[in-house]
């Protein structure tokens, strides 16, 4: 009898042993779910920080846990522009992408937005930069700027506007069809006077100014050494009127004059930051009513390096200034980076894009700030912001820190695998057969 009990106990132990051997411990924690912030800026290449941590340069996609601490603060910075900051509540949902769009404002300038009705017109800023409407220009100075709008079948629109630092000036232009337009042919004695229609530079006498809306306009003629002439003129639709104006020499005056010319011609001229007009092919742009003293003159033309000069203007005198503009040189817009990690063999990312395994030499990287990430199993991620310089190679040495492992204090839940459920009955049957066979002996 005792022998039978012992055999039964041994059989049960074999069953339990088989069950335990086949058991599978499942310590896997539930997987996290992720959402994303898609961060872009105008202009791009700006440094992005989220909650005080650098995440790369725009454009960049940032991964966050859907169950993490809700609410984030974004800071976007770029040299020459004001810092942009925004607070976002909550977290993105699973696989949700939330766009973060930053419109950066120049530190000392702002924006000019021109809308036209109808749209699609060519908008020209200061005779240099051209965009199709709706057109938004970034300006680096808060002074006056000339706006010209052209659209086939409509009158040319011209105006002068200013922008406050860090702000946006918006103009909405309702274009007038050509059927309501006329022209004026102007001469002066002496010739070479600068023509301004409604305070906007147009040409020099003699000249025909067309594409003028029917109605009353303000005509201004300026010539160094002569009194400024200002008169109203009435334009008739579908007609050209002719006008000749004798100019009177200036008497005693406390103002001075500037005669501006440039090589090549058609350069935009700014005096103390204010747009004055375009240099003509022949002669000079005469700028009158200048307060005696020192003034800044800048010549600008697309594709050329701006020419600036300081001049002294005397009372009743004409100061002649010529701007010699040079072609814009080809500027390298890319550099290189050499990334070495200790230990080597790390995956290397630039702005979250995989670039290879360290050590690695990367060329043709656009100049500006970029985020470097080095990742290796068993080590903490290495991140660093690097400033790429035109035509140069920037070295980055990343010393990776081993991850510190800790013993879990929680008891893992043991779950039986499907295999164990199959093997357990077989183990029980085998144990029973062993016992029966032993008793028969």
- Of 130, 122, 127, nearest to 270 by C-alpha is 127
- Residue by residue, pLDDT tens for the chain (441 residues) are 555 555 655 655 555 555 554 443 333 333 458 899 999 988 888 889 999 888 888 889 999 998 888 999 999 988 777 788 999 999 999 889 999 988 887 766 678 899 999 988 889 988 778 888 888 887 766 667 889 998 877 888 888 888 777 678 899 999 888 777 888 999 999 998 989 888 888 888 999 988 788 889 999 998 888 888 999 999 888 889 999 999 988 776 778 899 999 999 988 899 988 888 889 888 889 898 899 999 999 998 877 888 999 999 988 888 999 999 887 655 556 788 888 888 888 888 888 777 888 888 888 788 888 889 988 888 888 999 888 887 788 888 888 888 875 544 443 434 444 444 444 455 555 555 555 545 555
SS3 of the chain: CHHHHHHHHHHHHHHHHHHHHHEEECCCCCCCCEEEEEEEEECCCCEEEECCEEEEECCEEEEEECCCCCCEEEEEECCCECCEEEEECCCCCCCCEEEEEEECCECCCEEEEEEEECCCCEEEECCCEEEECCEEEEECCCCCEEEEEECCCECCEEEEECCCCCCEEEEEEECCEHHHEEEEEEEEECCCCEEEECCEEEEECCEEEEEEECEEEEEEEECCCECCEEEEEEECCCCEEEEEEECCECCCCCCEEEEEEEECCCCEEEECCEEEEECCCCCCEEEEEECCEEEEEEEECCCECCEEEEEEECCCCEEEEEEECCECCCCCCEEEEEEEEECCCCEEEECCEEEEECCEEEEEEECEEEEEEEECCCECCEEEEEEECCCCEEEEEEECCECCCCCCCCCCCEEECHHHHHHHHHHHHHHHHHHHHHHHC
pLDDT value, residue 433: 52
pLDDT value, residue 408: 47
Residue 39 pairs in a beta bridge with 60, 100
CB 186 within 8 A of CB 195: yes
pLDDT value, residue 333: 65
- Of 178, 185, 157, 181, nearest to 237 by C-alpha is 181
pLDDT value, residue 28: 35
CA distance 426 to 410: 33
pLDDT value, residue 13: 59
CA distance 36 to 198: 52
CA distance 270 to 182: 30
pLDDT value, residue 184: 93
């Amino acid at each position: 009898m005792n022998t039978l009990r012992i055999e039964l106990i041994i059989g049960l132990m074999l069953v339990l042993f088989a069950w335990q051997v086949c058991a599978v411990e499942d310590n896997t924690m539930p997987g996290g779910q992720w959402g994303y912030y898609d961060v872009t800026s105008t202009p791009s290449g700006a440094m992005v920080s989220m909650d005080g941590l650098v995440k790369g340069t725009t454009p960049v996609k940032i991964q966050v846990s859907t169950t993490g601490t809700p609410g984030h603060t974004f800071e976007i910075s770029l040299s020459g522009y004001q810092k942009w900051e925004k607070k976002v509540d909550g977290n993105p949902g699973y696989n949700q992408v939330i766009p973060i769009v930053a419109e950066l404002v120049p530190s000392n300038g702002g924006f000019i937005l021109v809308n036209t009705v109808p749209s699609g017109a060519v908008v020209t800023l200061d005779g240099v930069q051209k965009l199709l409407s709706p057109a938004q220009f970034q300006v680096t100075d808060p002074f006056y700027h000339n706006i010209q709008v052209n659209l086939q079948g409509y009158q040319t629109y011209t105006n002068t506007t200013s922008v406050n630092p860090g702000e946006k000036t918006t103009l909405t232009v309702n274009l007038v069809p050509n059927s309501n337009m006329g022209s004026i042919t102007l001469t002066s004695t002496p010739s070479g006077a600068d023509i301004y229609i409604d305070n906007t530079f147009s040409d020099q006498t003699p000249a025909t100014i067309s594409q003028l809306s029917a109605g009353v306009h303000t005509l201004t003629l300026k010539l160094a050494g002569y009194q400024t002439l200002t008169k109203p003129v009435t334009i008739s639709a579908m007609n050209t009127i002719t006008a000749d104006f004798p100019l009177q020499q200036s008497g005693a005056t406390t103002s001075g004059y500037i005669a501006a010319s440039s090589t090549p011609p058609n350069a935009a001229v700014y005096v103390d930051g204010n747009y004055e007009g375009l240099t003509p092919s022949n002669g000079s742009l005469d700028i009158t009513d200048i307060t005696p003293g020192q003034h800044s003159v800048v010549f600008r033309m697309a594709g050329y390096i701006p020419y600036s000069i300081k001049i002294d203007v005397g009372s009743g005198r004409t100061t002649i200034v010529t701007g010699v503009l040079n072609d814009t040189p080809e500027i390298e817009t890319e550099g290189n980076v050499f990334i070495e990690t200790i230990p080597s063999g790390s995956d290397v990312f630039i702005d979250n894009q995989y670039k290879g395994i360290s050590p690695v030499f990367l060329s043709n990287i656009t100049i500006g700030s970029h985020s470097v990430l080095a990742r290796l199993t068993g080590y903490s991620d290495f991140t660093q912001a690097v400033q790429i310089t035109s035509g140069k190679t920037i070295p980055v040495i990343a010393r990776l820190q081993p991850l510190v492992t800790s013993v879990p204090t929680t008891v893992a839940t043991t779950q039986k695998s499907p295999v164990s459920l199959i093997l357990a009955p077989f183990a029980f049957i085998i144990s029973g057969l062993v016992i029966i066979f032993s008793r028969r002996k």
